[in-house]
Structure 1
């Protein structure tokens, strides 16, 4: 018995604090198709995602504009790249899973370089390289 295949996602909504790298864009299109469109957060939401209030004990209501944005803009089976504040990410991943969206995150290889200056101070440089996307909840 053949099971029906899900349609390829049309969009990848970007809920994270960085710009999508060329490697990430290429990888996403190789996996989910050349037709994939990338949809960034509106300016106001981008600013809020970058600074989830650190003085609030509960942030569910603070994230309502993100849920509204996805509800209005997304279609079932669309991707949502979610990375950032741990609690906000957890809440939005659950929202995506409960609303027929595919939450993903970018897996990176990390390299750290340390340089010790003559005065004894240490400068650490981190280099991140995209490796793949991973689905949350699988």
Structure 2
């Protein structure tokens, strides 16, 4: 039974759930426990990357997932790099959601402009592996 672990800061949309089930054969969705969700969602921007809290998150991922489970990873760049690297090393499938952005500007009577951005889910995409690319071909 394939799982999808949610390492994101927002809830799963119905269309994302449907795609995961239909395309990726995901049977269950697993959210982070509250304490680890706080680690994921509130990474301090000061100083060096806070590795200690992430050790518990990676330990939890190790226990909660099996090879070929999906891990939906979106967030702070350092955390994202760490988890995606871990996924490749331990045969989990790191994915991210692509979106289409629609923008609408409305001129208000007082002369100000209201911008509205709507994001629509398009698909889940597997993160590319850097070790599969020849960056400087000879």
Q: Which residue number corresponds to residue 24 of structure 1?
A: 16
Q: Deviations over 1:17-76 (max 9, x none)?
A: 01000000000111122x520000101111221111111322333311210110111111
What is the Cα-based RMSD across aligned positions, in Å?
1.4
Q: Which residue number corresponds to residue 120 of structure 1?
A: 111
- Give the Å deviation of 1:107: 0.6
Give 5+ residue unaligned stretches, structure 1: 1-8
1:50 has 2:41 as partner: yes
* Superposition pairs of residues 53-92 of structure 1, within 5 angstroms: 53-92=44-83
Moved runs in structure 1, 4+ residues, more than 6 A?
none
The total of aligned residue pairs comes to: 129
- Structure 2 CA distance, aligned partners of 1:48 and 1:16? 11
- Structure 2 CA distance, aligned partners of 1:37 and 1:69? 17
- Structure 2 CA distance, aligned partners of 1:68 and 1:21? 27
- Structure 2 CA distance, aligned partners of 1:101 and 1:78? 5
* Superposition pairs of residues 31-42 of structure 1, within 5 angstroms: 31-33=23-25, 36-42=27-33
TM-score normalised per structure 2: 0.87
